[in-house]
Amino acid sequence: MTKANRTEVHPNCKWVFQSLHRVLAFGFGSGLSPIAPGTAGTLWAWAGYLVAGQFLNTHALAWITLGGFIVGCWICGKVSEELGKQDFGGIVIDEIIAFWLVLLFIMPANFWMQLIAFILFRFFDAAKPGPIGSIDRHFKYQENSNSSSTRIQMIWRGFGIMIDDVAAALATIFIIFIARMIGIHLGWI
């Protein structure tokens, strides 16, 4: 299929809720937000983690997060192929899994620490400073989107969509760790 024959899809609720992989990719509809879908997806992730934490232990949440990353690579690639767009902003499973990773490392934490983590994560994900931006650019510009992708290409594209958010999560965790160490050293914590 050539790009001329390829149709771009403009997702709506009906389209998203036609299949489970789309529902997951769009964060149960949070990615359909007309304003800041990544932020909406991250808020959904935060709420979802707090609810899941009432029923599951940290070990189970860690396995779900790891499994979510692996499955998320396929989901992101598949849905971006269906959309005809490489990294559509409404695909928010990458934000969801990455923010769960942040929460895994900082919890238990009070509301203010969670809010700081949310703000830091959104900053790193949106601004993409330093290596986060390099990772994002590497995956966005290496791909030829003129034809249909193979399964391996779709998974690789999905990995590219997921990994820059994981890098943003790691940067967030690092900053919070450093701040906690300083706080402990100064006797604030």
Greater pLDDT, 85 or 115: 115
User: The whole model's pTM is what?
Assistant: 0.90
Instruction: Quick: pLDDT tens for 41-70.
Output: 999 999 999 999 999 999 999 999 999 999
Decide: 139 and 161 in contact? Cβ < 8 Å.
yes
Q: How far apart are CA 101 and CA 98, in angstroms?
A: 5
Enumerate residues 6+ apart whose C-beta is below 8 A from 94: 72, 76, 161, 162, 164, 165
